[in-house]
Structure 1
Amino acid sequence: MNRHDAAGSASPHRVGRDATGGTPRQEYVDAFSDEQYGQPLPVPGPRRGEPEGGASTGASTGSADAQEQAGRDREAGTEPEPGAETGAGAGHRTPEPRPGRRRHRAVRGRAARRGGWGRTVTGTAAAAVAVVMTVVVAGEMHGGVSSANGDAADRRPHLGQQDLSGDDEGARSVPEGEAGEAPEPDPGPTYDELMETRFPLDPDLTGDGELVPVSGSDPAADPDAMTVLRYRVDVEADIGLDPELFAQAVHRTLNDQRSWGNNGERSFARVSSGDHDFVITLASPGTTAEWCDKSGLDIRQTNVSCDSASTERVMINAWRWAQGAETYGDDMHAYRQMLINHEVGHRIGYGHVGCTAEGAPAPVMMQQTKFLTWTNGLTCRPNPWPHPEN
């Protein structure tokens, strides 16, 4: 508002002067005090149109307004009262509303003072938004790149929500009883796997002749059979073959329904001591030949097994047990079953027979280790069982 009244003449006294019209009221001087509004926050740089290092705080603006007002007062012949506080030393008083240009400048000065604080708040808010956006972008990167249809975005967890879809092993709970448990020992090859395996053995090996009974016993599969034959298993020491495997093979084979049980006619029980009806013996080729010689049987040329009928021993040649025969090829399991059934068949009274029909299963008492074609020209298939039909 101009310093002239509505009629255009000079005012008799200025608004805001005391009753004498000489000096300004103290509260109007105080309105421009820096201390009234406190020290403003610093502003990071000059505003547009403001020179480098120019007034950018409320304090500097207030000081400029106070100097301008003092100049105008001197021109009008009015000076502040002696001892009145001005500028930064003014007291904290609440000014009365004052119209006029100085009021406009005071408001503008306060706006300038508050402008630095407002820009500081604005900058702080912008920094906070930037932090939030960084967190969101990091979350997007953690969740994977969004596909065109937004599937990856749907899988992202909300802020503050725990992501339970990860593969963090440390976060998974360990079932009770698993921690600290030692791994189960390897059980090793099965019986069937061992029975299919060839073992190294010298065909000219002659052991020291020590025949050792295999410990333990196995009951007859049919204890109510008409005849229960008791047998012992001996294995020559230090020939490199498993006595337990051989004993197990003998008992399983003899008590199979396809073997010599003849539907309840007989059954077989294994013992390791005491009374027995015969001894099934696994021995080196040289030792086997010695025991076969005792019954008038020469097996050296063909290196086969025999039933040494004049002794208690049914002899199984360890080289044949380990290596098999050409007639059975790779079917070591079946060949070993045939060896047991053939030699025990001799012990219980059966002699050699030949092939009776082309392509038929070979009789178990045929000399299958040597051949499958009989003298009549008929060829049979390998067969380890007395009663394969069972």
Structure 2
Amino acid sequence: MGIALVGSLAVLGGTVIALGLPHGGSDGAAPSRQARAVPAEAVEQAPDSPEPVPPAASPNPSSSPSVAQDPKGTGKFSTAAANGPAVGRGTVRRYKVEVEDGIGIDPQGAAAEVQAILADKRGWTADRRNGFQLVADGTYDFTVRIASPETVDRICASAGLDTKGEVNCDVGRQVMVNSKRWQSGSPQFSGPVEEYRALIVNHEVGHRINHGHEGCPGPGKPAPAMMQQIYGLNGCVPNAWPYTADGTYLGGPSVP
């Protein structure tokens, strides 16, 4: 399997989905094995301008420039104790967000960012065939795990993927996010690191819903979210989203 790198982002054009109360590459990424989906009739579409999530009592280390970009993790993970509404239509995939202990990233803050990305109207719910729901426990389809480069390498290597301490991968029921990429973005991706976080999530989740890699559609055009942007833009401009705000798919030619 080729390794794809993904970018990401946290500020979603002003869209934030409120979390429930606690219960208890890269510009491309490595392709993954698909998670099992939970069918649903039709679930709530994310509103265009939902109420913002109140700030947590402590600052979110994931957005602090003072946090080390390559810390050593403990190998153990903490699950964000938060639940959200189902967003999108069709097949709803339930997901958890976990953060490796010791890397200085707050699980609750990370879950809020991931949830907002997957609920954004420029994301995969725009196809009206896919939906997502953040859960803290119970049944789930996949986990978004943010971990140190060393831990990401170890877990990705179990599926034969070489992430070289630099990129993300999607393996089994896990979207593995390299904390170095989450904290510092990519040299190929201009703009705020929050945008790159969105690219990471959209690229890896795109693999889970059967999207393969895509190339640049032409000079000056937005790079597809499924493009391995970390390897170069080939004339395209950086972009973190699979769709425009009006629902136009930002795709490109299929590549291996």
Taking structure 2 as the reference length, the TM-score comes to 0.69
Q: Hey, what does 2:33 align to over in structure 1?
A: none
Q: Hey, what does 2:220 align to over in structure 1?
A: 359
Residue 305 to residue 355, structure 1, CA distance change in 2 (3 Å): same
Residue by residue over 1:41-100, the C-alpha shift from the partner in whole angstroms, topping out at 9 and shown as x without a partner, is xxxxxxxxxxxxxxxxxxxxxxxxxxxxxxxxxxxxxxxxxxxxxxxxxxxxxxxxxxxx
Q: Is the Cα–Cα contact under 8 Å of residues 257 and 263 in structure 1 kept in the other structure?
A: no
Distance 2:156 2:212 in 1: 16
Distance 1:194 1:214 in 2: 14
1:388 pairs with 244, 251, 256, which one? Answer: 244
Map of 1:40-51 to 2, 5 A cutoff? Answer: none
Shift in Å at residue 250 of structure 1?
A: 0.6
- Higher Rg of the two aligned structures: 1
Greater fraction of residues in helix: 1
Q: Hey, what does 2:184 align to over in structure 1?
A: 323
1:215 pairs with 72, 81, 85, which one? Answer: 81
Map of 1:338-353 to 2, 5 A cutoff? Answer: 338-353=199-214
Letter in 2 for 1:201: A
Q: State percent identity of aligned pairs.
A: 38
Q: Is the Cα–Cα contact under 8 Å of residues 362 and 381 in structure 1 kept in the other structure?
A: yes
Q: Hey, what does 1:170 align to over in structure 2?
A: none
Distance 1:344 1:361 in 2: 19
Map of 1:1-390 to 2, 5 A cutoff? Answer: 198=65, 200-203=67-70, 205-222=71-88, 225-300=89-164, 303-308=166-171, 311-373=172-234, 379-390=235-246
Q: Is the Cα–Cα contact under 8 Å of residues 305 and 315 in structure 1 kept in the other structure?
A: yes
Letter in 2 for 1:337: A
Residue by residue over 1:317-370, the C-alpha shift from the partner in whole angstroms, topping out at 9 and shown as x without a partner, is 011101111122342121111111011111221121110211100000111133
Residue by residue over 1:279-338, the C-alpha shift from the partner in whole angstroms, topping out at 9 and shown as x without a partner, is 11000100011111122110116x111111xx2111010111011111223421211111
Q: Is the Cα–Cα contact under 8 Å of residues 200 and 323 in structure 1 kept in the other structure?
A: no
Give the secondary structure class of the aligned counterpart of 1:291.
helix
Shift in Å at residue 202 of structure 1?
A: 4.3
Q: Is the Cα–Cα contact under 8 Å of residues 62 and 104 in structure 2 kept in the other structure?
A: no
Give the secondary structure class of the aligned counterpart of 1:320.
helix
Give the secondary structure class of the aligned counterpart of 1:387.
coil
Residue 290 to residue 200, structure 1, CA distance change in 2 (3 Å): same
Give the secondary structure class of the aligned counterpart of 2:162.
coil
Residue 337 to residue 213, structure 1, CA distance change in 2 (3 Å): same
Q: Is the Cα–Cα contact under 8 Å of residues 198 and 332 in structure 1 kept in the other structure?
A: no
Q: Is the Cα–Cα contact under 8 Å of residues 61 and 67 in structure 2 kept in the other structure?
A: no
Residue 195 to residue 221, structure 1, CA distance change in 2 (3 Å): farther
- Post-superposition, which runs of at least 4 consecutive aligned residues in structure 1 deviate over 2 A? 193-203
Aligned residues: 192
Greater fraction of residues in strand: 2
Taking structure 1 as the reference length, the TM-score comes to 0.46
Letter in 2 for 1:251: Q
Distance 2:204 2:238 in 1: 16
Letter in 2 for 1:361: P
Q: Is the Cα–Cα contact under 8 Å of residues 199 and 323 in structure 1 kept in the other structure?
A: no
Distance 2:167 2:159 in 1: 15
Unpaired runs of at least 5, structure 2: 1-54, 247-256
Shift in Å at residue 256 of structure 1?
A: 0.9
CA RMSD of aligned residues (A): 2.4
Distance 1:297 1:214 in 2: 27
Distance 2:83 2:214 in 1: 33
Say which structure, 1 or 2, has more relative contact order (CA 8 Å, 6+ apart): 2
